[in-house]
A and B are shown apart, each in its own frame.
Chain A
Amino acid sequence: MSIKSNPKIVLVGNPNSGKSSLFNQLTGLNQKVGNFPGVTVDRKVGHCQLDEHARAEIIDLPGLYSLYPKSADEEIVIQSLLDPEHQDYPDVAVVVVDVSNLKRNLLLFTQVRDLGFPTVLALNMVDVATKGGLEVDLEVIKQSFGIQMVPINARTGKGIDDLKHLLGNPLMKECEPFYDMSTSADQVIEAVQNGHHFCNRYRAFQFAMHVDRIPSFQGDTRHKIIDAKYEHQFNEKALQTEDTLGRYKKIGEVIDHALHRRETTTVDWTKRLDSVLTHKVWGYAIFLGVLFLIFQGIFAWASWPMDLIDGVFGATASLLSGLLPSGMLSDLVTEGIIPGLGGILIFIPQIALLFAFIALLEESGYMSRVVFLMDKLMRPFGLNGKSVVPLISGWACAVPAIMAARNIENKRERLITIFVTPFMSCSARLPVYTILIGLVIPETYFLGIFGAQGLVMLGLYTLGVVAALGSAWFLKGRVKDKTRNFLIMEMPTYKWPRWRNVGMTILEKVKAFVLEAGRVILAISIVLWVLATYGPAEDMARAQTEWESQYADQPAISETPEAQAQLASLKLEQSYAGHLGKAIEPTISPLGYDWKIGIALLTSFAAREVFVGSLATLYSVGDSEDELGIRDRLRNEVVPETGEPRYTLALGLSLMVFYAFAMQCMSTLAVTYRETKSIFWPLAQLFFMTGIAYVSALVVYQLLV
């Protein structure tokens, strides 16, 4: 059999087997991440030049432990391996097996092999295991399984060329199954084989097992299989157990011959590290330290590239507005599109840093210890140890954070995690907090070290965490789910992180953010720009006339920035956005807000930090970068009826609490919709969060005013 010039190769293996490292080794930057159709499971595809003739398409399937799936991720693998109509149905299966945990890894391998694909066994970490005192007789393994095998080290790249060479040549296909099912399922297997003559006994057995998971089994074929299962009492649980135990027994016999352990005196670093990292005091102290470091990264280290991006976009906008002929198009570009793009890209440093940390923690093996430490604390809230990662990510941006909830197997725990993650104070709330705190909180210190402003900021972050956990607790009994929740999780040994894998993760997450959130933010920015620039024709004309009459006798002054800013402010008041702001004023006046704040609340829907820019325009501060200018202007704003200052402590705190709780992010709603596949969840998020925000802001304002 000659090899196809572009074969489709799938990588299959246990989690932590080194599958992703191998994928990165084979494809390099030649990869992209998408979604499997209909489900939100990452589909990683790349290309690899095997030799001068053959270029393979490599698909990295999600990690799993057997052909009996427990989560949405794992079902994808079953579909791709069993359904010939599936886009990822492979020509060749490469099963990655970590030799340090050979027995458990071989279960999945023998199952995939018996499906009848040309199968290659990539035996990972042989060199490391040998140093650790494990002797592997490669010849015995090759003979026992009757397949091609390559020892590799996916971390260093050793053996990758051998693997490519092997894949570039015709592969043999073993017909004899490694393990044959007992006769109890024979009638069903025969019934399946009658409809599919090509398939071997084990594949027929798996067809019967997963008939409801395979979309291309429809109509007659499907009914015949289901009828046969019913007629011959095909007991799925019992047969799965038989398959698992039978295979393990035969694998055990192979391993007895193939593996020999030498007594060594190597230090068990994992054991030593665990005694500190999961210690009842040090464990939590170190975890808090890691959280602090992440915080530090997001706030301090990310600030200079963010300022840089901000500066570049500001300069580009003013440069272009000078170059382009003035008019609608120029305004759209310089006031709508460029600030919109800037508003997306400015978050990249924080997102990149956050996922650098998370990737480091995952790669090193520490993340599973965090899950281990936090599981008991999270469970009373209807969450699970694995919810910690999305919640922490929420401090940077809820969009990638919600996507990070995918690895939670239990549906209910995953939904609750997705629902509450936007309560975590994301980085877009920070500019809003900063300006309001500077405005209404005095710079006093308690005991000489605790600044009032810092404490309020800390309080707002705490409020976010409390709201997230509290809402989770509230939802716990209300979200129904029949599936069992459990935490049966491998605790991998500690390893040095591979920088290449960390880099790939950062790239992948930033790309996801720019494409997922970016599109929405850009679209909304443009819509908001239109709403804030245009208004009913007569109102806009009136604003223009009113402004012109003020400067009628001194036209020279009308060219000054102050006068221009005043014009912008008058126009905004008469624009559609201004009308909307006035329309909602009665609703928000109990919170102490006027129509100007109403506009800022509405424009925050693109992204919360737009609040600051909107206020700058509304109060005709010429330069929106001028934070002190905005602050002074807000301080001087008075309530027309009373002459009292508008921005009191009560209003400031009411606004901060509103921003802490309210769902004001279209991108988050869009990503929740995509991840839950239901319009119910984003709508519930919108009304629940905004409802809490409204009530809390009302209480705060009415108590303090």
Chain B
Amino acid sequence: MQDQPKNVAQLAKGESGVIAGFSDDELALKLMEMGCLPGETITINFRAPLGDPISVHVLDYNLSIRVREAATIILEP
């Protein structure tokens, strides 16, 4: 059986990945407008003290997203 593709919520602090696509159509457009584009590199800056939300670096700026939203961003293997 194939491995599940990784998503952004599974990345550790400081880790990066390249965005492949989205698992939630409704959030996808909002995330893309905010610069989370397929092919772009996304890096975890840090998590909030209670683990949620997380701060990510994408397209030269910092974005705060909830873990639930980060989980809809699928990464390239």
Contacts and interface: CB of A to CB of B under 8 A. Distances in A.
Contact of B33 (A65, A279, A284, A376): A65
B60 A103 contact: yes
A493 B55 CA distance: 12
A584 to B, nearest CB: 47
Interface in A485-523: 486-493
Nearest to A275: B46
A66 B28 CA distance: 14
A102 B35 CA distance: 11
B8 interface: no
Contacts, number: 102
Contact of B48 (A237, A372, A484, A488): A372
A4 to B, nearest CB: 33
Which interface class (under 10, 10 to 19, 20 to 34, 35 or more) fits B? 20 to 34
B29 to A, nearest CB: 6
Nearest to A377: B50
Contacts of B5: none
B64 A487 contact: yes
Contact of B69 (A373, A488, A491): A488
A104 B65 CA distance: 17
Given A66-B33, A103-B59, A368-B64, A486 B27 contact: yes
B13 to A, nearest CB: 11
A491 B44 CA distance: 13
B53 A490 contact: no
B67 to A, nearest CB: 9
Interface in A268-323: 270-271, 274-275, 278-280, 283-284
Interface of A is mostly: helix
A101 B61 contact: yes
Contact of A104 (B35, B55, B66): B35
B61 A104 contact: yes
Contact of B26 (A101, A373, A484): A484
A244 interface: yes
Contacts of A104: 33-35, 59, 61
A142 interface: no
A68 interface: yes
B63 interface: yes
A101 B59 contact: yes
Interface string A73-109: 0000000000000000000000000001111100100
A300 B38 CA distance: 53
Given A68-B33, A244-B32, A487 B49 contact: no
B52 A376 contact: yes
A490 B45 CA distance: 13
A373 B53 CA distance: 8
A244 B64 contact: no
A376 B46 contact: no
A244 B59 CA distance: 15
Nearest to B46: A278
Given A101-B61, A103-B59, A491-B63, A375 B32 contact: no
Contacts of A489: 63-65
B7 to A, nearest CB: 15
A341 B24 CA distance: 54
Interface string B4-38: 00000000000000000000011111111111011
A371 interface: yes
A375 B59 contact: no
B11 to A, nearest CB: 17
Contact of B32 (A248, A373, A385, A487): A248
A678 interface: no
A240 interface: yes
A453 to B, nearest CB: 35
A241 interface: yes
A486 B69 contact: yes
Majority SS of interface residues in chain B? mixed
A488 B34 contact: yes
Given A104-B61, A248-B37, A278-B48, A486 B53 contact: no
A376 B34 contact: no
A66 B37 CA distance: 14
A245 interface: yes
B61 A373 contact: no
A488 B49 contact: no
Nearest to A486: B69
Given A283-B49, A375-B52, A376-B52, A486 B35 contact: no
Given A66-B33, A484-B26, A490 B61 contact: yes
A376 B50 CA distance: 7
A70 interface: yes
Contacts of A275: 46
Contacts of A486: 27, 30, 66, 69
A544 to B, nearest CB: 67
B62 A491 contact: yes
A278 B55 CA distance: 10
A491 B55 contact: yes
Contacts of B29: 68, 237, 240-241, 244
B30 to A, nearest CB: 6
Contacts of B52: 375-376
A280 B66 contact: no
A241 B48 contact: no
Contact of B45 (A248, A274, A284): A274
Nearest to A491: B62
B30 A70 contact: yes
Contacts of B25: 237
Contacts of B51: 376
Contact of A491 (B28, B32, B50, B64): B64
Contacts of B27: 484, 486, 488
Contact of A244 (B33, B45, B66): B33
A279 B49 contact: yes
A373 B34 contact: no
Contact of A490 (B28, B31, B63, B66): B63
A308 B49 CA distance: 44
Most chain B CB atoms below 10 A, which of A68, A102, A278: A278
Nearest to B38: A245
Contacts of B30: 70, 486, 488
Nearest to B61: A101
B45 A376 contact: no
Interface in A402-452: none
B63 A488 contact: yes
A491 B47 CA distance: 13
Among B28, B33, B65, the one with the most A-chain Cβ atoms within 10 Å of its Cβ is B33
Nearest to A100: B60
Interface of B: 25-35, 37-38, 45-46, 48-53, 55, 59-66, 69
Given A375-B48, A376-B53, 8 more contacts: A68-B33, A103-B60, A237-B29, A371-B64, A487-B66, A488-B31, A489-B64, A490-B64
Q: Which 10 A-B pairs have the closest CB atoms?
A: A280-B49, A491-B62, A376-B50, A104-B35, A66-B33, A101-B61, A65-B33, A489-B64, A376-B52, A491-B64
